[in-house]
Amino acid sequence: MAHINAHYNKLAAGYLFPEIARRTEIFLEKHPGTRVRKLGIGNTTEPLTPAVIKGLKAGVDKLASPETYTGYGDEQGNKLLRERLALYYTERGVSLSSEDFFISDGAKSDSGNIQSIFSSDSIAAFQDPAYPVYVDSNVIAGRSSGFNKDKEEYNNFVYMPCTKENNFIPEVPDQKVDLIYLCSPNNPTGAVATHDQLKSFVDYARKHKAVLIFDAAYAEYISDPALPKTIYEIDGAKECAIEINSLSKFAGFTGVRLGWSIVPGDLIIEGTTPGEVRKLWNRRQSTFFNGASNIVQEGALAVFSKEGLQESKNLVQYYMENAQTIREGVESVGMQAFGGINAPYIWLEIPSGLTSWEFFDKLLLETGVIGTPGSGFGPAGEGYFRLSAFGHHKDIKAAVESIKNNLRL
Amino acid sequence: MAHINAHYNKLAAGYLFPEIARRTEIFLEKHPGTRVRKLGIGNTTEPLTPAVIKGLKAGVDKLASPETYTGYGDEQGNKLLRERLALYYTERGVSLSSEDFFISDGAKSDSGNIQSIFSSDSIAAFQDPAYPVYVDSNVIAGRSSGFNKDKEEYNNFVYMPCTKENNFIPEVPDQKVDLIYLCSPNNPTGAVATHDQLKSFVDYARKHKAVLIFDAAYAEYISDPALPKTIYEIDGAKECAIEINSLSKFAGFTGVRLGWSIVPGDLIIEGTTPGEVRKLWNRRQSTFFNGASNIVQEGALAVFSKEGLQESKNLVQYYMENAQTIREGVESVGMQAFGGINAPYIWLEIPSGLTSWEFFDKLLLETGVIGTPGSGFGPAGEGYFRLSAFGHHKDIKAAVESIKNNLRL
């Protein structure tokens, strides 16, 4: 008799974004014809840029001829792409080998799967609030005995609260943990860790032989040159940190699907020699995955061409104008906003004591704007609300106008 | 202190195909300039067909304009594609809902991941020999206490030997098991299960509330109309079977990446009501995966157009001519061959008592032909050798000529 993996029963709620979609659907059934403006899920809206379109089409053309057709690709991804990525990091002063890179179908897959190469009794620490995949994947892997409804926390996990008081960047844990998930620029708070803050985590990880899992998916949204764009800018990070990144938000690849993980050969954990953890991730990936689409990998190479990089930077700039519009708009009606400077998310403090799901319903009802309740990202997200800067300028402006005109604070 | 997932240490060998690549590389270092002919990995070689190229390009074009650009897609995959797939099954007399379909990046991912929704104490049964991903993913999930070197088997697993005596289709297990992996047409043996044989497994599964995981990746290679192309042709299969399929071998998508899994709403296991297992797989996929590339999904829709289907059938015919060439060639030198009639794999009986890795080395040295040692697929594969029909006609002919002229039997 087959049984389900009972760890799934411990999950406190459905995955966040499907839940938002469900509530929106119910709202639209009750209020048909309402013009809904989606600032919830961080979904890109602007077309791929000309250089990328050209690269993708060249990728398709290659498959039309027997001379250039390719089937299964290199195990860790297109070698040219891995070399180009290594070079891109070199340009930031970081030395990595193309063998350290693993091309994937996106940061979500890597964020979810990376925990599987570590022992099931690992103690995991998370920023609170955080992207739900980190927590959910560890629950499903059995690292929590269950959800504590009073604390709104999963047992056995270490939460690192990100609050107004610490500018949404936590201190290192005051206990020993094995895996630490960090996301900077942060989803959902929009906060960016400084060099010194990241250094404290690298020092902690090296001292305790913990592993940092660093999600840099929003790195290209950093405009302040003093802020680190990769964990490997920090001395010693190659011994303790895995980085995950993606073209979703940099180049509009949310639907196209391409990401990469970096497991440096230098990384060591308890009982391993250099190269062993990287080899383990290779074994995981070559057993459960057959590579990102060869067409998409050609598109990714085009992103890192001279034209592609310039166009992608313009795309980031486009969304960051939205971030400014949103931030100024919500501040103009007296709300306190964080983020949105070096990140495409604005983190609103909810006025008047509403829960974040109550504010979700109120905002939708009064303004037609859909955002993401902070509590969906963890207990310390309660009292906050995420607005995403991904959208057409005119839609974002209309949403902000609707907030200004219709939200009753 | 982080530790690795120690289940990885139980794996008896590296993943099979990287191991073949490694041995080939060593061979070429020792014998530089040798013309190597790859009949090992089942990697497609013929270009994508015109209808598919057109569909993929239209998919790229959609992303070039704000009016048609799409980001994150539908949770279980492009709805049009899921509806088209459901219709394709209807045309085979099988009634499934589009909600039963989950579009993925390929059958390898689905084959590896599907076990994760079942409890870790599930007893899994495998055809022996079998595609290594089934066994490896269950080892990594902790369902075996380790590898027994004397028996060449993993502890706790149930092996269903596929031998000359049973025409490479096993009987149902004589003990209670929870998960049964079946692949028909079979990789590696090329055997195809009859309706009655599949019915015995469906009956077993319903009786014991076990789940069949049916890999139909080679279904389109069946030309005999009496042989089932999907498990759902068997009455009752919707209550007990999950099917996995892919465009890799049907439409040349090995590098393009698209597959699908089917978890019928009717499927029930111990303690669940209809729909629950499907919902569980949805939760797994929506947590760890963000969908197949939208470009690739447009290409998949084109495969199922009228022109696309005809062209794909021609592609299958092309490879099946290779299968005939290989089978006739090896038989002409006195070897016994199986498969290759309704499947793109020829399963050779190795003469003269060599192990299958010894035969690998001998074949490579004497003929330059690379195949896959049967033992790489499980202990009952020892004494056998897989040749793949994927290749250009001229290369396959040259390989077969080399076997005829140079292999010393």
- The amino acid at residue A51 is A
| Mean pLDDT calculated for residue range A376-404 | 96
| B183 and B251 both lie in a single domain | yes
- Measure the CA–CA gap between A54 and A254, rounded to whole angstroms: 18
Report the domain count for chain B.
2
Contact B392 A133 (CB under 8 A): no
Mutate to test the interface with B, among A287, A294, A315, A318 (most CBs of B within 10 A): A287
**Taking the mean position of all CA atoms in its chain, how far away is CA A400?**
24
Which of B305, B320, B336 delimits the end of a domain? B305
| A91 and A40 both lie in a single domain | no
DSSP H or E run through A316: helix A306-332
Mutate to test the interface with A, among B15, B178, B293 (most CBs of A within 10 A): B293
| B300 and B363 both lie in a single domain | no
Confidence of residue A14 (pLDDT cuts 50, 70, 90): low
- Measure the CA–CA gap between B322 and B339, rounded to whole angstroms: 12
Does B401 reside within a domain? yes
CATH number at residue B96: 3.40.640.10
Closest CA to A216 of A196, A195, A232: A232
A chain contacts of residue B280, beta-carbon cutoff 8 Å = 4-5, 8
Tens digits of per-residue pLDDT, A232-259?
Answer: 999 999 999 999 999 999 999 999 999 9
Is A54:A61 a contact under the CB 8 Å cutoff? Answer: no
Q: What torsion do the CA atoms of B394, B400, B404, B406 make, to the nearest 10 degrees?
A: 90
**Residue A21: its pLDDT value, please?**
86
- Tell me, yes or no, if B274 comes closer than 8 A to chain A by beta carbon: no
- Measure the CA–CA gap between A176 and A172, rounded to whole angstroms: 10
B47 phi/psi in degrees, rounded to 5: -60, 160
Does B206 reside within a domain? yes
Structure tokens at B241: 């079977």
Structure tokens at A367: 């303004």
Residue A409 has pLDDT above 90, yes or no: no
Is B105:B258 a contact under the CB 8 Å cutoff? Answer: yes
**Taking the mean position of all CA atoms in its chain, how far away is CA A277?**
23
Structure tokens at B224: 């005999």
ipTM: 0.97
In B167-247, where does DSSP find H-type helix?
195-208
CB interface of B with A, residues 72-101, below 8 Å: 72-73, 75
Burial B109-120 (b: 16+ CB within 10 A, else e): bbbbbbbbbbbb
Which of A274, A305, A336 delimits the end of a domain? A305
Report helix, strand or coil for A72: coil
Contact B280 A44 (CB under 8 A): no
- Measure the CA–CA gap between B313 and B223, rounded to whole angstroms: 10
Confidence of residue A352 (pLDDT cuts 50, 70, 90): confident
Contact B109 A210 (CB under 8 A): no
Q: How far is CA B96 from CA A307, B84, B180, B214, in A?
A: 47, 11, 22, 16
| A320 and A240 both lie in a single domain | no
| B151 and B289 both lie in a single domain | yes
Task: Give chain B's residues under pLDDT 50.
Answer: none
Does B272 reside within a domain? yes
Does B1 reside within a domain? no
- Tell me, yes or no, if B13 comes closer than 8 A to chain A by beta carbon: no
Does A1 reside within a domain? no
| B193 and B149 both lie in a single domain | yes
Contact B3 A118 (CB under 8 A): yes
| B274 and B349 both lie in a single domain | no
| B161 and B275 both lie in a single domain | yes
- Measure the CA–CA gap between B31 and B47, rounded to whole angstroms: 31
CA dihedral for B358, B362, B365, B368, sign (positive or negative): negative
B chain contacts of residue A255, beta-carbon cutoff 8 Å = 63, 70-73, 291, 293-294
Residue A144 has pLDDT above 90, yes or no: yes
| A327 and A218 both lie in a single domain | no
- Tell me, yes or no, if B8 comes closer than 8 A to chain A by beta carbon: yes
Angle B306-332/B393-406 helices, nearest 10 degrees?
10
Burial B220-238 (b: 16+ CB within 10 A, else e): bbbeeeebbbbbbbbeebb
Confidence of residue A176 (pLDDT cuts 50, 70, 90): very high
| A286 and A333 both lie in a single domain | no
- Tell me, yes or no, if B69 comes closer than 8 A to chain A by beta carbon: yes
- Strand ranges (E), A334-391: 337-339, 345-349, 369-370, 372-373, 384-388
* Beta partners for residue B385, in sequence order: B348, B373
A chain contacts of residue B390, beta-carbon cutoff 8 Å = 71
**A351/chain B closest Cα distance in angstroms:** 31
* Beta partners for residue A242, in sequence order: A213
Q: Count interface pairs A-B at CB distance under 8 A.
A: 268
- Measure the CA–CA gap between B364 and B407, rounded to whole angstroms: 10
Contact A1 B178 (CB under 8 A): yes
| B106 and B242 both lie in a single domain | yes
**A125/chain B closest Cα distance in angstroms:** 12
DSSP H or E run through A211: strand A211-215
Q: What is the DSSP string of B100-123?
A: GEEEES-HHHHHHHGGGGB-TT--
CB interface of A with B, residues 311-350, below 8 Å: none
- Measure the CA–CA gap between B161 and B159, rounded to whole angstroms: 6
Contact B283 A122 (CB under 8 A): no
- Measure the CA–CA gap between B212 and B240, rounded to whole angstroms: 6
DSSP H or E run through B181: strand B179-183
Domain that holds residue A23: 11-47+308-406
Contact A8 B112 (CB under 8 A): no
* Beta partners for residue B118, in sequence order: A4
Tens digits of per-residue pLDDT, A32-60?
Answer: 988 999 998 889 999 999 999 999 999 99
- Measure the CA–CA gap between B231 and B212, rounded to whole angstroms: 9
Least confident of A5-19, A169-183, B108-122, B308-322: A5-19
Does A92 reside within a domain? yes
- Measure the CA–CA gap between B74 and B103, rounded to whole angstroms: 10
Closest CA to B139 of B148, A105, B261, A136: B148
CATH number at residue A15: 3.90.1150.10
CA end-to-end distance (rounded Å), chain B:
55
**Residue B15: its pLDDT value, please?**
67
- Tell me, yes or no, if B64 comes closer than 8 A to chain A by beta carbon: yes
**Residue A15: its pLDDT value, please?**
67
Q: Name the residue facing A287 among B133, B270, B295 (closest C-beta).
A: B133
Burial B9-36 (b: 16+ CB within 10 A, else e): ebbeebbbbeebbebbeebeeeeeeeee
Residue A162 has pLDDT above 90, yes or no: yes
DSSP H or E run through A51: helix A50-62
Which of B256, B274, B305 delimits the end of a domain? B305
Mutate to test the interface with B, among A19, A69, A122, A176 (most CBs of B within 10 A): A69
| B256 and B169 both lie in a single domain | yes
Does B101 reside within a domain? yes
Does A388 reside within a domain? yes
Structure tokens at B136: 């490896």
| Mean pLDDT calculated for residue range A15-29 | 86
